[in-house]
Structure 1
Amino acid sequence: MDATFTEMLEEFMGCALVTWVREIGVNSDSHDVVRLYLHLTNGVYLNEVMRIIDPNPKVEEIYQNVGDDKILRVQNFSILNRHLRSYYQENLQQLVLMPLPNVAVLGRDPLTEGAMEELRRLLLLLLGCAVQCETKETFIQQIQSLDIETQADLALCIQEVIIIGFHCCNFHHC
Structure 2
Amino acid sequence: NATKKARLCATFVMLQTFNTAAPCQTIQDLTNGVAMAQILHEIDYTWFDVSWLSRIKDDVGDNKRIKIHNLKKILQGIVDYYREFLDQHILEFLLPNLNLIADHSDATEMGRLLQLILGCAVNCEKKQEHIQVIMTLEESVQHVVMTAIQELMSKDTLDSPTSDLPGDLESQLRRTIDALHEAQAEQEELKQRCEELDLQVAALQDERNCLIAETELQNERLNQLDTFDEPSIMVSKKYSQMQMQLEQMKEDNYRLEAAKEDYRIHCEELEKQLVETQNRNVELASLAEESRALKDEIDILRATADKASKLESTVETYRRKLEDLADLRRQVKSLEDTNLVYMHNTVSLEEDLKKANAARVQLESYKRQVQELHNKLSLESKRADTLAYEMKRLQEKEDALLKEKEVRHPLAYIF
1:36 aligned residue: 26
Identity %: 29
Q: Is the 8 A contact 2:79 2:90 kept in 1?
A: yes
Change beyond 3 A, Cα 1:54–1:26: closer
Counterparts of residues 9-158 of structure 1 (less than 5 Å): 15-25=9-19, 36-55=26-45, 56-57=47-48, 59=52, 61-97=55-91, 98-110=93-105, 115-158=106-149
Aligned to 1:68, the other structure's residue is in SS state coil
Following superposition, the deviation at residue 29 of structure 1 comes to: 9.6
Give the Å deviation of 1:13: 9.4
* TM-score, structure 2 normalization: 0.35
CA contact (8 A) 2:11 2:145 kept: yes
Give the number of the structure whose residues are more often helix, by fraction.
2
Tell me how many residue pairs correspond in the alignment: 156
| 2:86 and 2:123 in contact (8 A); partners too | yes
Answer whether contact 2:82 2:89 (CA < 8 A) is retained.
yes
- Offset of 1:153 from its aligned partner? 0.8
Distance (whole Å) between structure 1 residues aligned to residue 14 and residue 130 of structure 2: 9
**Residues 40, 117 of structure 2: 8 Å contact kept:** yes
User: How far apart, in 2, do the equivalents of 1:62 and 1:121 lie?
Assistant: 20
Show structure 1 runs of 5+ residues with no match. 1-7
- Bigger drift between 19-28 and 132-141 goes to 19-28
3-state SS of paired residue (2:75): helix
Q: Which has the higher contact order (CA 8 A, sep 6+)?
A: 1
Assess, with a 3 A threshold, how the Cα gap between structure 1 residues 116 and 73 changes in structure 2: closer, same or farther: same
Deviates more, 1:39-48 or 1:98-107: 98-107
Distance 2:23 2:60 in 1: 21
Instruction: Quote the offset at 1:14 in angstroms.
Output: 7.3
**1 CA distance for matches of 2:137 and 2:151?**
19
Moved over 2 A (4+): 11-14, 25-30, 56-60, 169-173
Change in CA separation of 1:93 and 1:24 when aligned onto 2, cut-off 3 Å = same
Q: Does the 8 Å CA contact 2:21/2:35 hold for their aligned counterparts?
A: no
TM-score normalized by the length of structure 1: 0.78
Q: Secondary structure at the match of 1:23?
A: coil
Q: Kindly state the Cα deviation for residue 76 of structure 1 after the two structures are TM-superposed.
A: 0.8
Does structure 1 conserve the Cα–Cα contact (< 8 Å) formed by 2:64 and 2:103? yes
Provide the rounded CA distance (Å) in 2 between the counterparts of 1:71 and 1:132. 31
Q: Aligned pair in 2 of structure 1 residues 13, 94: CA closer, same or farther (>3 Å)?
A: closer
Structure ID, larger Rg: 2
